[in-house]
Amino acid sequence: MKPPVTDHLSQDCRAVSEILARVGDKWSVLIIMRLSDGPKRFSRLQQMIGNISHKMLSTTLRGLERDGLVTRTVHPTVPPQVEYSLTELGHDLTVPVNALGEWALRNQDKIRAARAQFDARQEFEVKAS
Amino acid sequence: MKPPVTDHLSQDCRAVSEILARVGDKWSVLIIMRLSDGPKRFSRLQQMIGNISHKMLSTTLRGLERDGLVTRTVHPTVPPQVEYSLTELGHDLTVPVNALGEWALRNQDKIRAARAQFDARQEFEVKAS
DNA sequence: CTGCATCCCAGATGATACTG
DNA sequence: CAGTATCATCTGGGATGCAG
């Protein structure tokens, strides 16, 4: 009647996974990073990020807003201006995300090296056919 | 000739994104978590994770191995046994990932609440049609 | 300027069956 | 037991056009 620790760990992992699904998609982090130093308008974000399509910026922002990570403020001017900014929750998130980011920066060389080595080995084994 | 900080920040974000693409996929983190307390065999992993398909476990493990995050050890027995374990790099990664995981656990309620509220508002606005 | 709908494609994922 | 190949399916993401 007493489930092992593995069980609750399992649930934790699901939760983590769910959040990572939000954070790990192609654009969320890029957007959050850009907003971390202040509110930005839609078009400003698009030009800052570069190669994000109109649609995905819109979609991703909507998702982030839904999760309470960013705020959407419409200024009823003509033409309309919409500002996005991080909520407190969103700002909070930048801390662990930055930690992961720093890890990525520190270790990107190792990863690239590992990939190169792995790929080289693959090629070698193919020759042995 | 001195690019603003934004520029190097931009590059950083790409790197972060790239790593998140690895870590953020549907299964990588689940696998890494399961391996964090010791080596596991293929079938053991599959039953621990639950609803992962044979193929995706295989594919994801391959990807992790390629990136130098896990090690694959074949024991030439009959039937063959294959053990997977975290490399030092992989073990390193669990630190920031756990940080993110703890954030997720701490804030999952807030996120759920935000979603519920957002969805409720959506429904309301639909009624106004 | 922003947002939303539609069409479309490429890649990710899953079910199944076969090999070593 | 572990890995791979094939085929079907689903989803993310881009292009475009229209609307507020």
Predicted confidence band of residue A60 (pLDDT cuts 50, 70, 90)? very high
Asked if residue A44 lies in contact with residue A85, where contact means CB atoms within 8 angstroms, the answer is no
Mean pLDDT, all residues of chain A:
86
A16 → closest Cβ in B15, B29, B67: B29
Q: Look up residue B115 and give its two tokens.
A: 């979603």
**For B122, which residue in chain A has the nearest alpha carbon?**
A66
CA dihedral B63, B97, A107, A111 (to 10 degrees): 0
pLDDT of res. A4: 44
CB < 8 Å to A4, chain B: none
8 Å CB contact between A20 and B3: no
For an interface test with A, the pick among B7, B27, B107, B122 (most A C-beta atoms closer than 10 Å) comes out as B107
pLDDT digits (tens, 9 = 90+) for B68-114: 999 999 998 888 999 999 999 999 999 998 898 889 889 989 998 99
Question: What is the model's pTM?
Answer: 0.86
CATH number at residue B81: 1.10.10.10
The residue type found at A18 is E
Average pLDDT of span A108-129: 84
In chain A, the number of structural domains is 1
* Closest residue in chain A to residue B24, using alpha carbons only: A24
- Decide: CB of A82 under 7 A of nucleic strand C: yes
Residue of A26, A65, A92, A111 to mutate, interface with B, max B Cβ within 10 Å: A111
* B32-64 pLDDT per residue, tens: 999 999 999 999 999 998 889 999 999 999 999
Residues B101, A16: contact at Cβ < 8 Å? yes
pLDDT of the residue at B3: 42
> Which of left, alpha, beta for B82 (phi over 0: left; psi -120 to 50: alpha)?
beta
Q: What is the pLDDT of residue B122?
A: 79
Q: Do A30 and B17 touch (CB under 8 A)?
A: yes
Residue pointed to by tokens 């909070």:
A92
Range of B104's domain? 5-128
Do the Cβ atoms of B68 and A16 come within 8 Å? Answer: no
Q: What is the pLDDT of residue B17?
A: 78
